[in-house]
Chains A and B, each alone.
Chain A
């Protein structure tokens, strides 16, 4: 993550953000200077267009300077460049002499900046895609405190048939004896994916680790650690999941099981586990009738009774 943040597109995007901030500030504070510089001080329209461009530059600057991944935001600058080039192109057509030269020089500068913007935005996108290829495994961590004794929490998890009660993407897990279990997902695209998994490590009350076996669309392994929460607050539970989807459509679909924010999704799973163990049920509201679910947060129902319970 850190290596990515210090990458060239990242640094370029930040620099372009400072550039936008400076230019926007200048266009707003001293529009007449900018108009003269660009040779458009004879145009009435430029009196409004220049400060407007200034506001736009400030809007570019915001995400470029603040976002953790600023490179994709450079595309907003590219869009602005296109607008500027269009306006400058028209101005260039109707000007000659000193003004024409100045307009031409500014147009050339904007064109050069456009090239730099496109380069940065494209490299930024490339870097993101590259990172995903290279780092094919999807990993997720989450931790939660459950106000129940460690032995009870361990026992509940150890019975893998309980997992679908709180793991949103699982349809069923059937124990097959001797540490083996058969997992079936509730996948996207209405396709289910199935695999067998073996418990590879089992330390009662402390750790359960499992691993998929044989050929499957998605190799995966996971572990859950149990420890006493300090002050008699029950059990601290830490989960680590890793999915290594094989290439191909099915593998990609399975990768999406964990969604865009795998940590968030696993955390939601743990919230439901906490609800089941502490409150005895998954909490449901009219806005979130399925209970805690990351996707639902973005698309709430109105808080109105459901038509069918």
Chain B
């Protein structure tokens, strides 16, 4: 089959690899009909996530049709149309029983590696480094899905791929980002990053009752998109000082909650400050460039919440701990517990409350995945979200 393989920093290739086979009784094989490039895939592309190997099949946002099931998979059958959550979860450990699917205790066979970096291991993730399992991903024609009796959600034919594909990651991720803000009536929520996850976090914050949502980015076309589709107010951080602007917009209080939908490769408008973290990251003295997170902490109102859904990989510097501690802030973060939100959000889509397909800017055949990565990385052609069709 054809698959998008990581071949080194800034390099992916669509090459021929063996077809996946059932390895375990709870596996299923999915013939992929739609898959997407995630912002977090760009961290792999840029070479900032450790433990990648040449030839790794990328991709953790995918859906398709079941073509084979293992003997223990009883609730899915060949021909079912499914969306697959990006974290792999066994469904039976303590974490899964408590709906903490992205920290499943069993799904990472390379837990020993992750423990070296993180203390304890999170769940395995499709196509996302060997530290997170070494699972082949879904930017391919087929994928093996472990624990298929727990993860994939069946979707009827009436909804097109583009409306349900993002149940695999970015819609629940955005939704959980907003949910972690514990939004109350009258709340003002600020969202750093107007990429697809940020846009869906903004939409979710409105769904959950936020009074105002303010989105911060530096790409006018992305800010336009989020304004147009969600009604959010926007700030271009290359035009205004974000802390001043937010203080002004909230009459000095600061936003009640701040969502970091940027993560480890943030950008800072002041050249030398950006260069400082860029250089340290390049020298591997820190793995993150946490400008957005630092700013979110400083911006947040006293006693407010910072919700981190942008991806981080390791260690960061110049963390405003004094602000966090002295101002009674709450910092929350997670890889999304996707399984928890599948049914709820599918119903929301079906009811017309949200249509996440507004984030899509480009549709490409799988063969053109390398162009998709380049375009997405460099924000060319107003690229916002690339969907690949095998």
Contacts and interface: CB of A to CB of B under 8 A. Distances in A.
A268 B115 CA distance: 12
B296 interface: no
Contact of A287 (B24, B53, B144): B53
Contact of A304 (B18, B105, B111): B18
Contact of A302 (B54, B92, B108, B147): B54
Nearest to A289: B23
A150 to B, nearest CB: 15
A307 B105 CA distance: 28
Interface string A271-304: 1001100111111111111011110110011111
A287 B26 contact: no
Task: Tell me whether chain A's interface is mostly helix, strand or loop, or mixed.
Answer: loop
Contacts of A147: 92-94, 97
Contacts of B23: 284, 289, 306, 309
B306 interface: no
Contacts of A300: 51, 53, 110, 130, 134
Nearest to A267: B112
Interface in A220-243: 233-234
B25 A281 contact: yes
Interface in B1-27: 1, 3, 5, 17-26
A293 B51 CA distance: 16
A288 B136 contact: no
A145 interface: yes
A274 B111 CA distance: 13
Contacts of B134: 285-288, 300-301, 303
Nearest to B20: A305
Nearest to A309: B21
A285 B124 contact: yes
Nearest to B3: A304
A305 B68 CA distance: 15
A278 B26 CA distance: 13
A281 B24 CA distance: 7
Nearest to A304: B17
A156 to B, nearest CB: 15
B93 A281 contact: no
B12 to A, nearest CB: 13
Nearest to B19: A305
Given A145-B94, A147-B93, A305-B17, A281 B112 contact: no
B93 to A, nearest CB: 5
A172 interface: no
Contacts of B135: 285-287, 303
Nearest to B7: A302
Nearest to A147: B94
Nearest to A229: B94
A278 B24 contact: no
A278 B71 CA distance: 17
A84 B3 CA distance: 53
A161 interface: no
Contacts of A279: 26, 90-93, 106-107, 147
B136 to A, nearest CB: 4
B127 interface: yes
A304 B112 contact: no
Nearest to A291: B109
A136 B79 CA distance: 59
Given A280-B26, A286-B135, A303 B127 contact: yes
A18 B85 CA distance: 52
Q: Which of A234, A280, A304 has the most CB of B within 10 A?
A: A304
Contacts of A282: 24
A38 to B, nearest CB: 32
B57 A304 contact: yes
Contacts of B18: 304-307
B93 A304 contact: no
A308 B21 CA distance: 8
A264 interface: yes
Q: Which of A274, A292, A297 has the most CB of B within 10 A?
A: A297
B72 interface: yes
B121 to A, nearest CB: 9
A62 to B, nearest CB: 14
Contacts of B265: none
Contact of A274 (B105, B112, B127, B130): B105
Interface string B123-147: 0100100100111110000101011
Contacts of A293: 109
Interface in B63-112: 72, 90-94, 97, 105-112
A38 B135 CA distance: 58
Contact of B106 (A268, A278, A287, A296): A278
Contact of B130 (A268, A275, A303): A303
Interface in B247-265: none
B53 A285 contact: no
Given A303-B57, A304-B5, A305-B144, A281 B17 contact: no
Contacts of B22: 309
Contacts of A268: 112
Nearest to A271: B111
A292 B111 contact: yes
B133 to A, nearest CB: 5
A285 B21 CA distance: 11
B231 interface: no
B113 interface: yes
A271 to B, nearest CB: 6
Q: Which of A278, A286, A297 has the most CB of B within 10 A?
A: A286
Interface string A141-161: 000010100000000000000
5 contacts: A145-B94, A234-B94, A282-B24, A303-B57, A304-B5
Report the 9 A-B pairs with minimum CB-CB distance, sorted nearest first. Answer: A287-B134, A309-B21, A302-B55, A279-B90, A305-B20, A303-B56, A288-B109, A286-B136, A285-B134
Given A279-B93, A305-B19, A305-B21, 8 more contacts: A279-B90, A285-B110, A288-B133, A302-B54, A302-B56, A302-B57, A303-B56, A305-B144
